[in-house]
Amino acid sequence: MTENTPKGDRIAKVLSRAGIASRREAERMIEAGRVAVNGTRITSPALNVTEADKIVVDGKEVGAPERARLWLYHKPSGLVTTTSDEKGRETVFDKLPEDMPRVMSVGRLDLNSEGLLLLTNDGGIKRKLELPSTGWLRKYRVRVKGAPKDDQLEPLRKGMTIDGERFQAMEVVLDRQQGANAWLTVGLREGKNREIRRAMTEIGLHVNRLLRVSYGPFRLNELKPGEVEEIKPKVMRDQLGIELPQGHAEAKSKPKRPGARKLVKKPQGGGKRR
């Protein structure tokens, strides 16, 4: 690092780490004049800040970032996955418990979709989990109208192009017929807008229920609609490489050296060895 390199981190990165918004959204907030640093409103994200700087967003001071955290949320149908909606519809953030900190969603589920949605207070985690290179499998339970045959689903497994947009191959299993509907399990590794619904429509099927049951190693399990469950720090370390917070029991203990031998106390009172 040279002496001419500004100290600190870019303002958008700091806002992202503090759980205010993703880095890109933070840049838009700055350009809209919603952010002030040390009493001066800024309109360009080309600024580095340190812990000594006072940052205010929409009139509220931004505190020091918390440790990175991640939650599972069972999104009910009928909520939009945005912080605000131009049509005045309720958002997932309107329905979160009052004691939740400010969080961002990892990807989205559309209005009529339900199931597992990951929430985080850390923009770095959000970006990492959304990157196509992460490639985590996302599984859905999908109910469609009609009685599809297995060969009808084959185009989904091979990948398809819809309106000039290429969709990767999906994992599709026909589970069971239930009256006038059929249940499928669908797995995909990308998250394009309304991808499953559009693909099903393309092969002549109408989706009337879509429930995400897993996102990589994280599963919905028995979480009920509207419920939130925080991921334990140890799981975040194992799955995401996030360091354990200071004071955590496992963070204190030192790992044993490979091949280290356990010391055995000698018997006291002059006892003889056998």
* Mean local confidence (pLDDT), 239-248: 73
Q: Do 16 and 22 contact (CB within 8 A), yes or no?
A: yes
The span from the CA of 65 to the CA of 104, in Å, is: 14
Beta bridge partners of 165: 162
Q: Do 251 and 236 contact (CB within 8 A), yes or no?
A: no
Q: Which two tokens stand for residue 163?
A: 């309106």
Residue 254 burial (10 A CB sphere; 0-12, 13-18, 19+): exposed
Could you tell me the pLDDT band of residue 256, with boundaries at 50, 70 and 90?
Answer: very low
For the chain, the average pLDDT equals 85
Predicted local confidence at residue 252, as pLDDT: 54
**Does residue 6 surpass a pLDDT of 60?**
yes
Q: Do 71 and 120 contact (CB within 8 A), yes or no?
A: yes
Judged by average pLDDT, the poorest of 12-21, 51-60, 171-180 is 12-21
**Coil, helix or strand for 199?**
helix
**Coil, helix or strand for 115?**
strand
Give the other-Cβ count within 10 Å of 154's Cβ: 11
The span from the CA of 69 to the CA of 22, in Å, is: 15
Predicted local confidence at residue 181, as pLDDT: 97
**Does residue 50 surpass a pLDDT of 50?**
yes
DSSP-derived pairing of the beta strands 181-188 and 171-178: antiparallel
Please say if 175 is a catalytic residue: no
Could you tell me the pLDDT band of residue 229, with boundaries at 50, 70 and 90?
Answer: very high
Q: What is the pLDDT of residues 200-217, one digit of tens each?
A: 999 999 999 999 999 999
The span from the CA of 167 to the CA of 254, in Å, is: 47
The span from the CA of 136 to the CA of 130, in Å, is: 9
Predicted local confidence at residue 4, as pLDDT: 62
Q: Which two tokens stand for residue 204?
A: 């002549």
Q: Which two tokens stand for residue 78?
A: 């009928």
Could you tell me the pLDDT band of residue 249, with boundaries at 50, 70 and 90?
Answer: low
Predicted local confidence at residue 86, as pLDDT: 85
Could you tell me the pLDDT band of residue 102, with boundaries at 50, 70 and 90?
Answer: confident
> If we measure between CA atoms, which residue out of 212, 217, 213, 215 comes closest to residue 239?
217
Token pair 């496992």: residue: 250
Judged by average pLDDT, the poorest of 103-107, 130-134, 220-224, 263-267 is 263-267
Predicted local confidence at residue 144, as pLDDT: 97
> If we measure between CA atoms, which residue out of 197, 214, 81 comes closest to residue 143?
197
Predicted local confidence at residue 40, as pLDDT: 94
DSSP-derived pairing of the beta strands 138-145 and 35-37: unpaired
Could you tell me the pLDDT band of residue 269, with boundaries at 50, 70 and 90?
Answer: very low
Check residues 154 and 258 and name the one with the higher pLDDT.
Answer: 154
Predicted local confidence at residue 130, as pLDDT: 86
Q: Kindly name the residue from 53, 110, 122, 163 that is annotated as catalytic.
A: 110
Predicted local confidence at residue 266, as pLDDT: 42
The span from the CA of 90 to the CA of 83, in Å, is: 9
Predicted local confidence at residue 170, as pLDDT: 95
Could you tell me the pLDDT band of residue 250, with boundaries at 50, 70 and 90?
Answer: low
* Mean local confidence (pLDDT), 56-66: 83
The span from the CA of 30 to the CA of 47, in Å, is: 11
Beta bridge partners of 207: 144
> How many DSSP H helices and E strands does the chain contain?
7, 17
**Coil, helix or strand for 258?**
coil
* Mean local confidence (pLDDT), 99-128: 90
Amino acid at 231: I
Predicted local confidence at residue 51, as pLDDT: 84
